[in-house]
């Protein structure tokens, strides 16, 4: 008889199973562990999770070819109670300086993708950590995932996310906590909205002034008056022109009535006149436009930085005689170089360091291993993956925390309740408990950071 390979399937009664969609009376033994720092290893996870029960298997998922960590792992226990306790106790434990985030394994991505029952919280006191957030919101229902946004050093950015397993729980949390005081700060709690959704929500605000661009050079105020006049009474119309009276191909139409303005936008945005497709929208105030442009600029910068992740090499100990071209020549055998630069001081003297970006991470990692330590002119070259500036600090701290002994408290005393039974009253302060942390803080203080 032919051998049939049976793929691993978690029990159907658990959160993985269709039989238990949304229910929480069953739990499984399979945990998804996400938000891992790049260097977190199987054995590190094994050591940590073994302290709460019998671990059957641990695996950090890795890219098949590069073996790079994908930033998540699976930990399987032999029984459900141990898994449940591990999730409870170990969730948000820092590993290599970064808090891990544990969920029950749920391979069907439909819930994750739907983004339902997902809420956003802002104006959070910086002292409120993942655990405090979890405890505060768990009063309203079962939490699938929850997290405080942090900068690379782990400092709270003052906002966070909670995803529940039901819309009711999410709505209830919003109703009860929005506008409440948490640690003396009034928090905003609302449904999570993607950027796009938020913008369209914002644009529902009333306006009278309409912006129109991509006009033909021949389009006049009279033309606009006639076309927009179909939708209501116009109080002013202008086509912007340069000093010579030449059209800048954009203008403004102000309506007496905001509903008419909105109607004209709906009807005319994207319409074609004289071969030109018009953009028609709410006219932005100068400051609104500045905010949008600034946001877009920062977004572009971020994307540019992301694009270089894993493909950009930092080189140092370069001989002063090495130029951009020479540097490119040295690395060109490993692949396609998308950019290459020797850093120089204001007098044009080489700083002895530079960057070489390849088109793929594979090329970059081969160049790294082949070129690091190679004698160039008179000195051995140092080659490493270039890091983002903000990530450097985090990386140093990760190394630092790796030296700390980590131990699990034998049992965890309950934290103080967040607020009296029945939930907080309007305007009532919510207090955070001072229960002991799940992880005993380091007993040995390592040497200070450079």
Partner DNA sequence: GCTGAGCGA
Residue 103 beta carbon to DNA: minimum distance, rounded to whole angstroms: 4
Residue 130 is a binding residue for DNA (CB under 7 A): no
Strands 429-430 and 181-182: parallel
Distances (CA, A) of 346 to 34, 316, 317, 325, 349: 44, 18, 19, 19, 7
Residue from the set 55, 132, 146, 386 that interacts with DNA by CB under 7 A: 146
The β-bridge partners of 227 are none
- Is residue 312 within the footprint of DNA (CB under 7 A)? no
DSSP structure string for 182-249: ETTEEPEEEE---HHHHHHHHTTS---EEEEES--TT--HHHHHHHHGGGS-EEEEEEEE-TTS-EEE
Say which DSSP state 17 is in.
S
Kindly state the smallest distance separating residue 5's Cβ from DNA, in Å.
10
CB of 104 to DNA, least distance (A): 7
Which span sits near DNA by CB under 7 A: 2-10, 81-89, 310-318, 322-330?
2-10
Nearest distance from C-beta of residue 238 to DNA, angstroms: 31
190 near DNA, judged by CB under 7 A: yes
Q: Which is nearer to DNA, 106 or 131 (CB)?
A: 106
Q: Which of 26, 41, 147, 328 binds DNA (CB under 7 A)?
A: 147
Tokens of 430: 């919510």
CA atoms within 13 A on the CB side of 279: 7
Q: Is 141 in the site for DNA (CB under 7 A)?
A: no
Q: Point out which span in 188-196, 352-360, 409-417, 425-433 binds DNA (CB under 7 A).
A: 188-196
Cα separation, 160 vs 126, in Å, equals 11
Interacting residue with DNA among 44, 96, 105, 401 (CB under 7 A): 105
Which of residues 26, 46, 120, 382 is near DNA by CB under 7 A? 120
Q: Which residues contact 332 (CB under 8 A, 6 or more apart)?
A: none
Q: Show the site string, 4-43: x = touches DNA by CB under 7 A, - = not.
A: ---xx-x-------------------x-x-x---------
Which of the stretches 98-106, 204-212, 253-261, 315-323 binds DNA when contact is defined by CB under 7 A? 98-106
Nearest to 265 by CA among 199, 196, 206, 216: 206
Distance separating alpha carbons of residues 121 and 450, to the nearest angstrom: 35
- Please report, as residue ranges, which positions from 249 to 308 form the binding site for DNA (by CB under 7 A): 295
CA quadruple 353, 358, 361, 365: dihedral positive or negative? negative
Residue 183 C-beta: closest distance to DNA, Å: 12
Residues 25-43 as b/e (b if ≥16 CB within 10 A, e otherwise) read: eebbbbbbbebbbeebeee
Residues in the chain: 450
Angstrom distance (rounded) from CA 428 to CA 392:
41
Beta carbon of residue 164, minimum distance to DNA (angstroms, whole number): 10
Report how many residues bind DNA under the rule CB under 7 A. Answer: 46
Pairing verdict, β 279-282 and 272-273: unpaired
User: Which of 161, 252, 273, 400 forms a contact with DNA (CB under 7 A)?
Assistant: 161
Distance CA 315, CA 103 (A): 40
State in angstroms the smallest separation of the CB of 355 from DNA. 25
Is there binding between residue 309 and DNA (CB under 7 A)? no
Q: How far is the CB of 170 from DNA (least distance, A)?
A: 11
* Residue 158 interacting with DNA (CB under 7 A): yes
Q: Which of 53, 90, 106, 315 binds DNA (CB under 7 A)?
A: 106
Binding stretches for DNA (CB under 7 A): 7-8, 10, 30, 32, 34, 57, 59, 61, 70-72, 74, 76, 103-107, 109, 112-113, 115, 118, 120, 122-123, 144-147, 149, 157-159, 161-163, 188, 190, 192-195, 198, 295
């Amino acid at each position: 008889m032919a051998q049939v390979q049976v793929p691993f399937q978690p029990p159907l009664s658990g959160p993985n199973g269709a039989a238990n969609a949304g229910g929480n009376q069953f739990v499984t033994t399979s945990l998804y562990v996400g938000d891992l720092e790049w260097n977190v290893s199987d054995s590190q996870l094994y050591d940590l999770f073994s302290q709460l029960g019998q671990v059957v298997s641990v695996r950090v998922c890795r890219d098949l070819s590069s073996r790079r960590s994908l930033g998540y792992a699976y930990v399987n226990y032999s029984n459900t109670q141990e898994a449940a306790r591990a999730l409870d106790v170990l969730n948000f434990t820092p590993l290599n300086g970064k808090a891990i985030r544990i969920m029950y394994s749920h391979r069907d991505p439909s819930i994750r993708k739907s983004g339902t029952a997902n809420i956003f919280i802002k104006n959070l006191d910086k002292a409120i950590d993942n655990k405090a957030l979890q405890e505060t919101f768990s009063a309203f229902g079962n939490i699938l995932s929850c997290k405080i946004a942090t900068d690379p050093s782990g400092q709270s950015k003052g906002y966070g996310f909670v995803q529940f397993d039901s819309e009711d729980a999410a709505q209830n949390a919003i109703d009860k906590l929005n506008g409440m005081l948490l640690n003396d700060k009034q928090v905003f709690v609302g449904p999570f909205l993607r950027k796009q959704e938020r913008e369209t929500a914002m644009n529902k605000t009333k306006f009278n002034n309409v912006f129109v661009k991509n006009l033909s050079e021949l389009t006049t105020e009279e033309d606009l008056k006639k076309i927009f006049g179909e939708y209501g009474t116009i109080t002013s119309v202008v086509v912007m022109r340069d000093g010579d009276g030449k059209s800048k191909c954009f203008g403004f139409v102000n309506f007496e009535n905001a509903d008419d303005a909105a109607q004209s936008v709906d009807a005319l945005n994207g319409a074609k006149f004289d071969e030109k497709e018009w953009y028609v929208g709410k006219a932005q105030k100068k400051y609104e436009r500045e905010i949008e442009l600034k946001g877009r600029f920062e977004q572009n910068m971020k994307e540019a930085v992301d694009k270089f992740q894993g493909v950009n090499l930092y080189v140092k100990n370069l001989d002063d005689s090495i130029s951009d071209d020479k540097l490119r020549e040295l690395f060109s055998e490993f692949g396609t170089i998308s950019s290459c630069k020797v850093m120089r001081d204001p007098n044009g003297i080489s700083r002895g360091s530079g960057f070489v970006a390849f088109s793929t991470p594979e090329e970059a990692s081969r160049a790294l291993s082949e070129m690091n330590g190679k004698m160039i002119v008179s000195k051995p070259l140092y080659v490493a993956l270039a890091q983002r500036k903000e990530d450097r600090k985090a990386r140093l701290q990760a190394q630092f925390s790796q030296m700390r002994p980590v131990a699990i408290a034998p049992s965890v005393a309950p934290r103080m309740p967040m607020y009296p039974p029945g939930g907080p009253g309007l305007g009532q302060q919510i207090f955070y408990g001072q229960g002991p942390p799940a992880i005993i803080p380091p007993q040995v203080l390592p040497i200070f950071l450079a």
